[in-house]
Copies of this chain bind each other. A is one copy, B any other.
Amino acid sequence: MNEQQKACVGKRIPIDALHEFCTEVMVRHGLTPDHARATADVLVTTDTWGVFTHGTRQIVPLMNNVDHKAIDATAQPEIASDGPSWAIVDGHGAMPPASGVYAMDLAIEKARRTGIAYVGVKHSNHFGAAGYYAVHAARQGLIGLSMSNVDVCMTVPFARAPSIGTNPISYAVPVRGENPVFLDIATSVVAISKVLTAKAAGTPIPDNWLVDENGQPTTDASSYPGTGSIVPMTAHKGYGIAFLIEVLSGILTGASFLSGINRWIDPEPKPADQGQAYIAVDVDAMMAPHVFADRMKKAVAEIRSAPKAAGHDRVYLPGEMEWERRDDAVANGLLLPDYVLMNLFTVADKNGLSDRLIGLFG
């Protein structure tokens, strides 16, 4: 970063301004304005949750995929086949957030007619934070689930090399008068970003995060990626859940699966051909809306009133920390970490938008 750019460190940026900037960048890379806006919304929303690893930082590798035609800037997703409560969508390599919202909207529409619906997407790529799509359903009163297979990077019990992806899964449940309860997790014991942070800092990691080239625990983060593999959460449990996600997102959709998936973050990426799965459950079909709302309220209140551990004065619902971070970002702007700013200025420089970006910081 140059001096003017460095001066932005520690300053906040309004989320609408960041959204517009990201949209402009993506339009300059050839995306249709609606796909650019859809993608900006996924990335900025993820930043507001404080999940900066999956936020606007990713505009750099995403645009690299567009530039290498691993993502098709102008393609439109379409229904390949469908039935009363299911569909397979061909993403045609289009920008995954656009395919994702399209697929979840389709799942919502079908669920409203039948009760529950599954929509799988093939010929997709990295779709950002799975939670965005689940929350999209919950905002419309449905329970949403979203998941994706990803390139192999995680070992499985008794193996010693990457054998499956850290396949993420998310859900969101509407709560009347509040933000949805939501969870968005990888099936690994820890996010890969934490391994890479330790690697950059040269600090040892707990011995249950990675295994080395012999499948033995290692505290050396520098082995990833390379000889090291990340470990599934609670061993066979994370492995088993990752396999289910592989089936629903990859095998059943017609996408690539396991080693067939190309790494979207390669410097010269090829189409990843990942698959995603979206499920929507129409709560209102099954239970009077006020009854479900009352029961959720009661459950949420009971969890919040749990006796607190020493040193803690609150128990959080899944996603509640993320919503509080978002409230702050909406009110006061986003305070982005340095590594996110570096990515944003990289893409700004490339598109002659550096001055505009600098001007957005308060």
Give residues in A with beta carbon < 8 Å to B. 81, 83-86, 88, 113-118, 120, 143, 155-161, 163-164, 171, 173, 181, 183, 185, 189, 211, 214-216, 233-234, 236-241, 243-244, 246-248, 251-252, 254, 257-259, 279, 281-283, 285-287, 292, 295-296, 299, 302-303, 306-310, 312, 314-318
Q: Find the residue from A157, A216, A243, A279 having the highest chain B CB count within 10 A.
A: A243
Query: Would you call A156 and B116 a contact (CB within 8 A)?
Result: no
Q: Which residues of B contact A307 (CB under 8 A)?
A: 159-161
Knowing A88-B286, A160-B310, A183-B243, the reply to whether A118 touches B118 (Cβ < 8 A) is: no
A312–B215 CB distance below 8 A: yes
List 28 A–B pairs whose Cβ atoms lie within 8 Å, in order of A's numbering.
A84-B85, A84-B113, A84-B115, A115-B117, A115-B118, A116-B116, A116-B279, A143-B247, A155-B309, A157-B315, A158-B308, A158-B312, A158-B314, A159-B308, A164-B303, A173-B247, A183-B240, A183-B243, A185-B237, A211-B309, A215-B310, A215-B312, A216-B310, A247-B299, A251-B299, A252-B287, A258-B303, A259-B302
Docked complex Cα distance between A285 and B306 (Å): 45
- Minimum distance in angstroms from A95 CB to a CB of chain B: 24
Q: How far is the CA of A296 from the CA of B285 in the complex (A)?
A: 34
User: Contact between A286 and B215 (Cβ–Cβ < 8 Å)?
Assistant: no
Q: In whole angstroms, how far apart are the Cα atoms of A138 and B351 in the complex? A: 52
Q: Is the CB of A309 within 8 A of B83?
A: no
Q: Are B185 and A299 in contact (CB under 8 A)?
A: no
Contacting A233 at CB < 8 Å: which of B164, B216, B237, B299?
B237
What is the distance, in angstroms, from A280's C-beta to the closest C-beta of chain B? 10
Quick check: A244 and B309 within 8 Å, CB to CB? no
Q: How far is the CA of A88 from the CA of B86 in the complex (A)?
A: 20
Q: How far is the CA of A9 from the CA of B114 in the complex (A)?
A: 53
Contact A292 B83 (CB under 8 A): no
Q: Which of A85, A214, A282 has the most CB of B within 10 A?
A: A85
Let me know if B234 and A318 touch, CB within 8 A.
Answer: no
> For A83, A286, A296, which residue has the most chain B Cβ atoms within 10 angstroms?
A286
Query: Which residues from B are CB-within-8-Å of A283?
Result: 252
Q: A295 touching B257 by the CB < 8 A rule?
A: yes
- Residues in B neighbouring A279, C-beta threshold 8 A: 116
Closest beta carbon of chain B to A206's beta carbon, Å: 11
Taking A160-B310, A236-B318 as known contacts, 7 extra A-B pairs with beta carbons closer than 8 A to each other, sorted by chain A number, are A120-B286, A143-B248, A161-B307, A163-B303, A239-B318, A243-B318, A251-B292
**Are A306 and B241 CB-contacts (below 8 A) given A116-B116, A285-B83?**
no
- In the A-B complex, the 3 residue pairs with the closest CB atoms: A215-B309, A86-B115, A183-B240
B252 x A156 contact (CB < 8 A): no
- Residues of chain B within 8 A of A259, CB atoms compared: 302
Looking at the assembled complex, report how far the CB atom of A217 sits from the nearest CB atom of chain B, in whole angstroms.
10
Residue of B nearest to A232 (CB): B234
In the complex with contacts A183-B240, A234-B189, A299-B251, A214-B86 CB distance below 8 A: no
- CB-CB under 8 A for A163 and B252, given A86-B285, A234-B233: no
Known contacts A240-B183, A312-B215; is A258 also within 8 Å of B84 by CB? Answer: no
Closest to A310 in B: B214
